[in-house]
Amino acid sequence: MNLVFMGSPDFALRHLDALLAFPKEFCVSAVYTQPDKPQKRSCKPSPTPVKTLALQRTLPVIQAENFKAEGTRSALQSLFPDILIVVAYGMILPPAVLAIPKYGAINMHASLLPKYRGASPIHQTLLNGDSETGVTSIFLDSGVDTGNILMQKKVSVSLQDDYASLLETLSRVGPECLLETLRHLRSTNFKFRGTIQPKDSHSYARKITKDMAFLDFSKSAFTLHNQIRALNHWPVCHITLPLNGKSTLLKIFKSEPIPDCVLCGQASAGVLSLCTRDQMHLKTAQGCLRILEVQLEGKKRMPITAFLNGFTLHVGDRVTGV
């Protein structure tokens, strides 16, 4: 099975690595990935994780800006791919490209489609507090994550999961789903074309933006906890609080919702309702938010105990989301 792989981040790397583990079944003839981009600190162009792996395995790497030029499409056509494998590539493929592979283009998506089509399905799963998600393999069409469903694998989501842990789970299950999908297609002589997605049950996961890190304490502890764990990779939720006589920004990476906190009394939303050497609670509209891991600007991430041992806070101090 002659495959051309298209992907960029670590999530995609895990799928490419799985394909390369079975060279007698799958021949990856080339890898397409995003152009090198400058890093924030060094400003030096840095390759995508997929490019790094591909070069290690001596695979041809193509970093096309787009597929508008006839020459770019012809180069892909010259590879005579049976199937395009597209995993978090970062580029929408036009119909002329989708028509090139003999049996179509397969995309791996990190949700149970048609739920959470779009750019941020993992974030949206956590933001909504879902207890279940999964991965879906689909045939790509001209829409955004609208193609026929080939296979799905479900996973459970706990209240302690955050973006990193859920990404790790889906990065393990996704490659398994991809391999099973390809083997099933081959077993049917590529006649299996999947099932049409229901038209009335879809939802979209919009792109994550910096303003989503604002914490609104008029919401419940569960809502804010979901927000913190969904965004603790980027942009990271943060608050300002009075510290050593001045307003200081504090990033929050981990939390725990306490719906019925007997320790915090009748404190109003948005205040520090409990502060000891090892515990810090913030009052919300419904329940309290126990803070577990934080970071001051210019400092390393630290458990809340380390932070509280170094700074003095007072019950009743008002905090604000930023």
pLDDT of 110-153, one tens digit each? 999 999 999 999 999 999 999 999 999 999 999 999 999 999 99
- Picking from 161, 179, 205, the residue at the C-terminal end of a domain is 205
How open is the CA angle 276-234-218, to the nearest 5 degrees?
55
Residue 301 pLDDT exceeds 70: yes
| Same-domain check for residues 171 and 32 | yes
Q: Which pLDDT value is given to residue 322?
A: 63
At 266 the pLDDT is 81
CATH number at residue 120: 3.40.50.170
Are 150 and 244 in a shared domain? no
- 201 and 269 fall within a common domain: no
Residue 241 and residue 194 share a domain: no
- Please state, in angstroms and as integers, the Cα–Cα distance from residue 40 to each residue in 46, 91, 117, 228, following that order: 10, 22, 29, 23
Question: At residue 42, does pLDDT exceed 70?
Answer: no
CATH number at 227 reads 3.10.25.10
Indicate the residue among 146, 178, 205 that finishes a domain: 205
Q: Domain range spanning residue 68? A: 2-205
CB of 83 within 8 A of CB of 1?
yes
**Tally of domains in the chain:** 2
Answer yes or no: is pLDDT of 41 > 90.
no
Verify that 87 and 195 share a domain, yes or no: yes
Show which of 205, 221, 242 is a domain's final residue.
205
**Cut 0.75: pTM above it:** yes
Q: Are residues 180 and 79 in the same domain?
A: yes
Separation of alpha carbons 103 and 192, rounded Å: 10
